[in-house]
Amino acid sequence: MSRCWRTSRATAALAVGILLALPAAADAADDRMSRVLGEALFERAWVPAPSSTKANDGLGPLFNARACVSCHVGLVRAPTRVGADGVVTGETLVLRLSDAAGRPDPAYGTQIQTAAVPGFAPDGLVRRTREGFAPHALARGPLAATTRTGGRIAPALRGLGRLEAVPDALLAAAADPDDADGDGISGRFVGRFGHKAQARDLAEMTAIAFATDLGMSTTRRPAPEGDCPDPACRAAPHGGDAQTPEIADEIVALVAAYLAAVPPPPAPEPDPVGAALFAQAGCAACHVPALPTPDGPVRAYTNLLVHDLGPGLDGGATEPGIAPTEWRTAPLWGLSRALADGAGLLHDGRAATVAEAIAAHGGEAARARAAFDGLAAEDRERLLAFVERL
């Protein structure tokens, strides 16, 4: 009797254990399944509507590529490809459009789309010029006189979930918009993702990408015609309407969850001397080596704040509420990979080396650039080597 009682108690304990463990196991399996689905959606080549596979369609009418992965191959930054005539041939650099206040061009919207559904003209092409990048062979007449243009490259998409985990309150507290501490560096907390920190989180950046790069609508960006204010666009074929977006919220969430789970780039062995010089020159005031999160520090070398880097880094086009010269402090982790792959530095890839990137820093970073220039030659080399290995 007593043995029987002990057995049944042990069995009950086991059953409770299984019951307690099951939801966790189910959650973990769910997470894995979500990531697999998210990755498949990130790699999916979308097709124009109407198609026989309704779930895949809605691409365009204007777009830059058919899949997220086209511009984010291997989730790393790629070199910008340019033909002999100066025309950009790859997809990874986009030409953004806006007036000085971030308002889109009335005919072309926020970005030049270089591809379109059959029977509809793409916006045009992008050409590299001495000053940067410019539109070429435009299909819908000239840009508005107030429209400014600027190239932006596709960044690496690694460790973004770790950046998302940095508490908002911490970033808001680190901001110093009026430079109250008088160090010449202000810094504003706007958002986390995009060169201009224009997106608050990965789901928002994903919705922006669907709208501008693929021409697909979401709840957050409901216009079915995508980035195309031209009336002809609204009449062109597309897969949704204002009530039913082409891309369901679940798809946005799955893609965002997949990206959030991609681990950060590998961290190098630290060089304390290089790190000290980096801090001494004032680089670390913006490229903060580590930010705290509930799961430990994230060593991305950014404060995620937006800084004015002066007229030399006027990006032409901008976003509402962000000056053309303002940029989110670029995370420096993964820089060694970008350099090894020959991908350019800064928002439009204009700098081939770390030294060139530093030389372009002005505005709030002018003091740090001067401090770098003032270092002894061997210390400059040591600092550069430190950054190049990140």
Binding site for ligand HEC (CB under 6 A): 42, 64-65, 68, 70-72, 91-92, 94, 152-155, 157, 160, 185, 193-196, 202, 205-206, 209-210, 213-214, 255, 259, 281-283, 285-287, 307, 309, 313, 327, 329-330, 332, 335, 345-347, 354, 357-358, 361, 364-365, 368-369, 372, 387
Query: Taking a C-beta distance cutoff of 8 angstroms, is the pair 122, 129 a contact?
Result: no
Which residue, among 330, 336, 275, 278, has the nearest Cα to 304 in the 3D structure?
330
- Token readout for 342 is 């020959």
Angstrom distances, CA of residue 139 to CA of 14, 98, 107: 70, 18, 10
Q: How far is the CB of 4 from ligand HEC (least distance, A)?
A: 59
Closer residue to ligand HEC, CB minimum distance, 120 or 327: 327
Q: How far is the CB of 112 from ligand HEC (least distance, A)?
A: 10
Angstrom distances, CA of residue 224 to CA of 58, 114, 238, 371: 8, 18, 7, 50
Q: How far is the CB of 168 from ligand HEC (least distance, A)?
A: 16
Closer residue to ligand HEC, CB minimum distance, 159 or 233: 159
Closer residue to ligand HEC, CB minimum distance, 1 or 72: 72
Max CA separation in the chain (angstroms): 93
Closer residue to ligand HEC, CB minimum distance, 9 or 208: 208
Q: How far is the CB of 92 from ligand HEC (least distance, A)?
A: 6
- Asked if omega into 23 is within 30° of 0 (cis), the reply is no
Which residue, among 319, 315, 314, 327, has the nearest Cα to 102 in the 3D structure?
319
Closer residue to ligand HEC, CB minimum distance, 120 or 258: 258
Closer residue to ligand HEC, CB minimum distance, 148 or 195: 195
- Token readout for 283 is 């680089």
Closer residue to ligand HEC, CB minimum distance, 120 or 386: 386
Q: Residue 16's CB: how many other CB atoms inside 10 A?
A: 10
Q: How far is the CB of 136 from ligand HEC (least distance, A)?
A: 16
Closer residue to ligand HEC, CB minimum distance, 107 or 218: 218
Q: How far is the CB of 60 from ligand HEC (least distance, A)?
A: 12
Q: How far is the CB of 269 from ligand HEC (least distance, A)?
A: 19
Q: How far is the CB of 79 from ligand HEC (least distance, A)?
A: 13
- Token readout for 225 is 């015609």
